[in-house]
A = this chain, B = another copy of it.
Amino acid sequence: MELKGIMLSTITEHSLIEERDNILIGLSGGPDSMALLYALLEIKEKIPFLIYIAHVNHGVRGKDADEDEKFVEELSKDLNIPYYSTKIDMEGYAKLHKMSSEDAGRKLRYGFFREVLSKIGGGKIAVAHNKNDQAETLIMRFLRGTGIDGLGGMEYKSGNIIRPLLDISRDEIENYIEKNRIKTRLDKTNLIPIYNRNKIRLEAIPYIEKNFNPNIIDTLWRTSNIMSEDSNFLNKYSLNKYKEYMKIKKKDSIILDRNEFIKEDDAIKKRIIRHSINDLTGSLKGITSKHILDIVELFDKGETGKSINLINNIVAETSYDDIVIRLGNSEDRISYNYNISLGKPIYIEETNFFIEAKILPRSEAEINFKDRFIKYFDYDKIEGGLCVRNRLRGDKFIPLGMNGMKKVKDLFIDEKVPLNKRETIPIVTDDKNIIWVVGFRISEKHKITSSTKNVLIIKYVKA
C-alpha cells in the first residue's frame, strides 16, 4: 500500500482527524513534513477539514534557516493555505533555562503552535514523526531503562497533537517525495546536534540491521504497538482501582483504603501510587521507581504513624486502615547529610544521584568547565573532610566570580528554583565552607587557578 493509503487508515483507526477539524501542520520544509502536507491535501478530498501551515525558524544557521522560512512561506501562498511563522532563540532559551537545545526547541515550537491554534479557534497540531523516529525513540528509552509505559513510544494522538505518519517508514516517505516530484528543503532539524538520537540513527540502527535484524524498524514499530496496548490496559485498570479505593480526596491529601490496596499485585500497587501523586500534584516529574517502591513497602507494612518524605514536598504515610499521600508541612522537610570519601561513590537517596570525588595532579586532570554536574576545586584549599547535604537556614558562600557573600536562598531566588525543589538540591561543603551548590555555582575561594597543584574533581551523576 502506498503512503496515502497507509496514512488514511492510520487516521481512521486512531480517529486523528474529524470533519471540519482545523489541522495545523508544523512544516519545516524537510521531506517528512512535506510528505505529511501533500498526503493530507490528498486526504482532504475524502474527509473535509481545514489545513493551516506553521513554520518555526529556530534561529540557528542563519541564512539557511531564513531560506527555509521563505520556501515554506512561498509554498503556502502558492497552495493558498493560511501561513504562520515565528523566529525563536532556541540556544538562548536553552541557556537561560538550563535545558538541552532539543528540549528548548520543542518547548518553544509547541508553544508557538498552541498560540496559532488559539488564533484560528482551536484544532489539532499535525507533526511528521515517522516509523523510523518511533524505532529510534524506543531504542533510546530501552537503553535508558523505561518500562512498558515508555516502550509504547510516541502516541498517535496525545492531547491535541496528532502523528499521522507514525505507520510510515522513512523509505516510504522518500519514495512518495520522489514519485510526486515534491521539492523539499534539507531537514535542518536532523542536523541539530541531538547527540543521542543522531548516534542511534546513524550508527546503532545500521549496526543492528547488519548484525541482528534487517527489519528492526518494523520490529520496533510492532513492539511499540503491543506495548501501548498493554500499558493502556494497565493504566486504565489501575486508574479504576485507584478511584475505587479512594476514601477521601482533598486539595492537599488523598486517602486510600489500605485493606483493598494490599490485595493488588505490585504492578498495580505501583500504578495506583503514581495515579495518586499525579492527581495530587499534577505531575510525576522527578518521581523515580525507587520512590514508588519505598512507598509500596511502607504501605505493605502498614505501621501506623510511619511516613516517607519525597521530593516535591510529597509525604506518604500509613494510619490504621488508611494510606495517605499528601503535601508536606514544614515539619516534614527533607534533611540529609552524607560524608564523602574520596574515590568512592556516595548514593544520595533523597535525590537518587551519586556523588563521587577524586584527586588528580593538575597535569593529569582533563577539565571541562561546561558540565554543570562535574566541578573542579583547588584541593589544597579544602579544609577538613567533605560532605554533601541539603540546605540549612542561613547558608551562604562567595559564588564564583563574586567578591562578597551571597545567601543560598537568594541564589535560588535569582535562579528561579521552585520552592519545592530547593529542599533537595545538594550542597557540598568542607569543614568550614560551602564549596558547591550542585548544578548552580561553585565557590570563588575554592576554584582552580594557575597555581593549583592538586585538583579535586566532584561529579554528581544519576543513579
Contacts and interface: CB of A to CB of B under 8 A. Distances in A.
Contacts of A233: 234, 265, 267-268
A144 interface: yes
A60 interface: no
Given A143-B208, A145-B219, A234-B233, A226 B289 contact: yes
Contact of A219 (B144, B148, B196, B267): B144
B196 A212 contact: yes
Contacts of A279: none
A227 B213 CA distance: 23
A230 interface: yes
A398 to B, nearest CB: 34
A261 to B, nearest CB: 15
A336 interface: no
Interface in A260-274: 265-268, 270
A232 B265 contact: yes
A362 interface: no
- The DSSP consensus for interface residues of chain A is helix
Given A145-B222, A219-B144, A236 B212 contact: no
A256 to B, nearest CB: 19
Contacts of A270: 229
Nearest to A237: B237
Contacts of A199: 211-212
Nearest to A211: B199
A267 B147 contact: no
A142 interface: yes
A216 interface: yes
Nearest to A139: B142
A10 interface: no
Contacts of A147: 223, 226-227, 230
Given A148-B148, A289-B226, A143 B265 contact: no
A148 B212 contact: no
A213 B145 CA distance: 9
Contacts of A208: 143
A220 interface: yes
A196 B213 CA distance: 11
Contacts of A230: 147-148, 230, 234, 267
Interface string A28-55: 0000000000000000000000000000
Given A196-B212, A211-B199, A234-B234, A145 B223 contact: yes
Counting every copy of the chain, the complex holds 2
Nearest to A221: B145
A259 to B, nearest CB: 20
Nearest to A290: B222
Contacts of A289: 222, 226
Interface in A190-242: 196, 199, 203-204, 207-208, 211-213, 216, 219-220, 222-223, 226-227, 229-230, 232-234, 236-237
A203 B211 CA distance: 11
Given A211-B199, A212-B196, A234-B234, A229 B266 contact: yes
Interface string A399-413: 000000000000000
A366 B145 CA distance: 41
A223 B268 CA distance: 16
A234 B266 CA distance: 12
A291 to B, nearest CB: 14
Contacts of A236: 265
A230 B226 CA distance: 13
Contact of A232 (B207, B213, B220, B267): B267
Contacts of A229: 265-267, 270
Contacts of A144: 212-213, 219
Given A143-B213, A146-B223, 18 more contacts: A140-B212, A142-B142, A142-B223, A143-B212, A144-B213, A145-B213, A148-B226, A196-B212, A199-B212, A207-B207, A222-B289, A226-B289, A229-B266, A232-B265, A232-B267, A233-B267, A236-B265, A237-B237
27 contacts: A140-B212, A142-B142, A143-B212, A143-B219, A144-B213, A145-B213, A145-B219, A145-B220, A145-B222, A146-B223, A147-B226, A147-B227, A148-B148, A148-B226, A148-B230, A199-B212, A226-B289, A229-B266, A229-B270, A230-B230, A230-B234, A232-B265, A233-B265, A233-B267, A234-B234, A236-B265, A237-B237
